[in-house]
Amino acid sequence: MRLSGRDINCIRGGRDVFSGLDFEASSGEVLAVVGPNGSGKTSLLRLIAGLLAPAGGSVVLEGGDAELTLPEQSHYLGHRDALKSALSVAENLSFWRDFLGGDAGDIGHCLKAVGLGHATHLPAAFLSAGQRRRLSIARLLVVRRPVWLLDEPTSALDTAGQELFVGVMGKHLATGGIIIAATHAPLGIETRELRMGARA
């Protein structure tokens, strides 16, 4: 499987964020999107996820499910954790499992995998920032999708959480998954870099 972008242009709010951008990532690879604030890292992820339309160029997934669009085969994990504070940890994950559909995993197993097995019935409002991030990461596991688009995925994670996430990423890659991550910090796993430049 290969995800590639060719000659992509992105315009937001009348501003040329980036243009002529090419990238490529294949099964088992992590592409780290790096660069200064405002260089278009998040915009690129949102564009791949189908949340923004490119002003030019194309993004193509080869070797995926021909019956599904790229967004239907991708998980987008933004820098904000999309959780309902009034729902329990398990209820939040159940919501995302039902909403996303597809090949669903066991909620209890997914929560244990991110170190939240003890917090199943705890309201999400009581989670620390790091625990909220772990719960967001569990969403990547509860429904199987081959492409992960991650925006600052290790933000708020302590050292133990970062080490745990390295293991989660490693398992995804071992099954042929692709990861594209916008990050300011090392991910702790072998990556290739796509460097974004600042625009005036």
Give the whole-angstrom CA distance, residue 174 versus residue 30.
12
Over the stretch 178-199, which tens digit does the pLDDT of each residue have?
999 999 888 989 999 999 986 5
- All structural domains of the chain: 2-195 (3.40.50.300)
Helix/strand/coil percent split, the chain, to 5: 35, 30, 40
Dist CA 103 CA 45 (whole Å)? 23
Residue 102 pLDDT: 66
| pLDDT value of position 41 | 94
Residue-wise DSSP of 119-179: GTTSBGGG--HHHHHHHHHHHHHHB--SEEEEESTTTT--HHHHHHHHHHHHHHHHTT-EE
Please answer whether residues 107 and 98 qualify as being in contact, where contact means their C-beta atoms are separated by less than 8 angstroms.
Answer: no
Q: Which of 140, 192, 130, 193 is nearest to 171 (CA)?
A: 140
pLDDT tens digit sequence for 143-178: 999 999 999 999 899 999 999 999 999 999 999 999
> Hey, which residues does 135 pair with through a beta bridge?
none
Mean pLDDT of the chain: 92
Q: What is the pLDDT of residue 199?
A: 57
* 5-9, 80-84, 196-200: least confidently modelled range: 196-200
For residues 149 and 76, is the Cβ–Cβ distance under 8 A? Answer: yes
Least confident span in 68-72, 80-84, 144-148, 170-174: 80-84
- Residue 102 token pair: 């597809």
Distance separating alpha carbons of residues 97 and 120, to the nearest angstrom: 15
Cα 31 to Cα 53, 80, 114, 115: the distances in Å are: 21, 21, 22, 26
Q: What is the pLDDT of residue 129?
A: 94
Nearest Cα to Cα of residue 86 among 50, 56, 48, 125:
125
Contacts of 36 (CB under 8 A, 6+ apart): 196, 198
Angle at which helix 159-174 crosses helix 129-142, to 10 degrees, equals: 10
